[in-house]
């Protein structure tokens, strides 16, 4: 499901759908879709983003104020899914409000590959994950640095498409350095699954990618990309630099 090159770390940029408005969000998505990224992660804005830091929180609020809803997010996915694998990052509430079966049907029609669900534990995911699976969509759960080995195995067994590993304890946001021991954590997860392993949270610099190489299959870059959009810059420049660092 991810577009990966053998032996090379992939890059998955994150955009908040509808930020700062529909037209500029579409422009940023098309610009990133033209790059050889592993996938494009589209955030569905939500009013109570528990896992997100200030940059993504502000982007989500701006998107909501601009009128972005789930339908608009699906339309954005449909506009670029022919060029790049698209995964939604969504809290479970917008999907429940929209209706899991309806969302799965419409997401599949928009060409999405799956959904990353940061606040939905596998034990409570049957209705949502079942609807997604019925439409051929992956459900991606998150492993935290605090996850015990038994829980890592459960998350790996429950996930499809890839396994998302949070590199730090805390909220999203670019960091100067990644925590010590992140490579060992990723290696532990890779030992539990044959799926690709994606590292996320705090990743924004070429040296971060160098530290992840050999441990993860891809790295998700969120706040740094969203900040480029917020500042009125084309995020493809930053992502292009990160892709070069992976070569």
Q: What is the per-residue pLDDT across 7-45, written as a single tens digit (0 to 9) for each?
A: 899 999 999 999 999 999 999 999 999 999 999 999 999
Residue 75 makes CB contacts below 8 A (sequence gap 6+) with 110
For residue 183, the surrounding DSSP H or E stretch is helix 182-190
Choosing from 23, 41, 149, 234, which is the catalytic residue?
41
At 55-72, the pLDDT tens digits run 999 999 999 999 999 999
Listed by start position, the domains of the chain span 10-245
In the chain, the percentage of residues whose pLDDT exceeds 90 is: 81
Choosing from 5, 23, 48, 52, which is the catalytic residue?
52
For residues 67-90, give the mean pLDDT: 98
**Tell me, what's the pLDDT at 173?**
46
Q: Mean pLDDT in the chain?
A: 93
Task: Based on the residue annotation, tell me whether 41 is a catalytic residue of this protein.
Answer: yes
**Tell me, what's the pLDDT at 175?**
60
Task: Based on the residue annotation, tell me whether 52 is a catalytic residue of this protein.
Answer: yes
For residues 207-232, give the mean pLDDT: 94
pLDDT of 103 strictly over 80: yes
Burial class (CB within 10 angstroms; exposed 0-12, middle 13-18, buried 19+) of 122: middle
Contact in structure between 113 and 161 (CB atoms under 8 Å): yes
Contact in structure between 219 and 11 (CB atoms under 8 Å): yes
Half-sphere exposure of 61 (CA within 13 A, CB side): 8
Q: Rounded to whole angstroms, how far apart are CA atoms 195 and 106?
A: 25
DSSP code, position 213: B
Which SS3 state, helix, strand or coil, does residue 221 take? strand
pTM score, whole prediction: 0.95
**Tell me, what's the pLDDT at 9?**
96
In angstroms, what CA-CA distances link 205 with 2, 5, 137, 158, 175?
A: 21, 20, 31, 31, 9
**Tell me, what's the pLDDT at 14?**
97
**Tell me, what's the pLDDT at 25?**
98
Q: Rounded to whole angstroms, how far apart are CA atoms 182 and 25?
A: 32
In the chain, the percentage of residues whose pLDDT exceeds 70 is: 95
pLDDT of 240 strictly over 60: yes
48-70 in b/e form (b: 16+ CB < 10 A) is ebeebbebbbbbbbbbbebebbb
Q: Which CATH class is domain 10-245?
A: alpha beta
- Return the biggest CA–CA distance within the chain: 45
Query: Closest Cα partner for 60 from 51, 74, 49, 72?
Result: 49
For residues 178-191, give the mean pLDDT: 86
pLDDT of 112 strictly over 70: yes
Specify which of 68-72, 141-145, 210-214 reaches the highest per-range mean pLDDT: 68-72
For residue 142, the surrounding DSSP H or E stretch is strand 142-143
**Tell me, what's the pLDDT at 170?**
54
């Amino acid at each position: 499901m991810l577009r990966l090159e053998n032996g090379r770390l992939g890059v998955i940029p994150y955009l908040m759908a509808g930020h700062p408005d529909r037209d500029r969000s579409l422009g940023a998505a098309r610009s990133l879709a033209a790059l050889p990224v592993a996938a494009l992660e589209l955030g569905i804005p939500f009013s109570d983003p528990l896992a997100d830091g200030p940059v993504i929180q502000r982007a989500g609020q701006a998107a909501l104020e601009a009128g972005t809803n789930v339908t608009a997010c699906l339309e954005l996915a449909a506009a670029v899914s022919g060029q790049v694998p698209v995964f939604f990052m969504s809290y479970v509430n917008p999907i429940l409000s929209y209706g899991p079966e309806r969302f799965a049907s419409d997401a599949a029609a928009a060409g999405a590959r799956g959904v990353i669900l940061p606040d939905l534990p596998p034990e409570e995911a049957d209705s949502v994950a079942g609807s997604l699976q019925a439409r051929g969509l992956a459900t991606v759960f998150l492993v935290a640095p605090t996850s015990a080995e038994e829980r890592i195995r459960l998350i790996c067994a429950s996930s499809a498409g890839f396994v998302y590993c949070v590199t730090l304890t805390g909220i999203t946001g670019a960091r100067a350095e990644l925590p010590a021991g992140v490579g060992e954590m990723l290696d532990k997860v890779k030992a539990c699954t044959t799926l690709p392993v994606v590292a996320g949270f705090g990743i924004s610099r070429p040296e971060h990618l160098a530290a992840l190489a050999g441990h993860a299959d891809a790295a998700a870059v969120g706040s740094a990309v969203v900040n480029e959009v917020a500042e009125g810059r084309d995020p493809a420049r930053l992502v292009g630099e990160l892709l070069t660092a992976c070569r």
